[in-house]
Copies of this chain bind each other. A is one copy, B any other.
Amino acid sequence: MRHIESIERLIKAFAGLPGIGEKTAARLAVFILNAKKEYAEELAGAIAGVKEAVRLCRVCAGFSNSDVCPLCADGSRDASTVCVVGDYRDMVAIEASGSYRGAYHILHGLIVPLRGRGPEEIKIKELVERAKTNGIREVILGMPFNAEGETTALYIKKVLEPFGIRLTRIATGVPAGSLIEYMDPRTLGRALEGRKEA
């Protein structure tokens, strides 16, 4: 059976979202069909609205509704320390920890050579420009400890080394609250390697 054209169009559009397959897209489409008109209008408006309202911050490349994002414009933060992260959500997660008062740089992706995503596809050039002009004393590499994160961290280390900026990497080890017995061998190996005086 062919769906009605406008339903087919909606299923196809939903299926374009990450992690949403054909079946889930159909479920979401039927949900929209059954939902209150106000909700459908709100969702449509929010999607269109975010593309209108949001651009990239001129300093950190994070999402912003102005030329410079509120975080970069916040004079109470330490602009000389820049934590480099792969994704906007990584920044949100680090902010939620409440233990960082420096600036950020959002790469919008990590280097994945196998998928043809090289350094020029992400905001590394912008980071280098920032290192050239601003009074940055420390760059914290906040990438995850997987192949893509390590590749990206290594690459950034290489391109930033000429600037004489202190380069650090966030710590790796056993997550808070996790049981040792459930940890993978690599995490435990790194936790042992990185051990500190108790």
Contact = CB atoms under 8 A, between A and B. Distances in A.
Contacts of A198: none
A37 to B, nearest CB: 5
Contacts of A46: 6, 9-10, 12-14
A26 interface: yes
- Measured as residues with beta carbon below 8 angstroms from the partner, the interface class of chain A is 35 or more
Nearest to A95: B1
Contact of A27 (B7, B43, B89, B95): B89
Contacts of A26: 89, 92
A63 interface: yes
A42 to B, nearest CB: 5
A45 interface: yes
A117 to B, nearest CB: 13
A182 to B, nearest CB: 21
A191 to B, nearest CB: 26
Contacts of A13: 39, 42-43, 46-47
A4 B49 contact: no
B65 A4 contact: yes
Q: Which of A31, A40, A46 has the most CB of B within 10 A?
A: A46
A6 B50 contact: yes
A2 B52 CA distance: 19
Interface stretch (A17-25, A143-151, A154-162, A165-173): A17-25
A7 to B, nearest CB: 6
A44 interface: yes
A136 interface: no
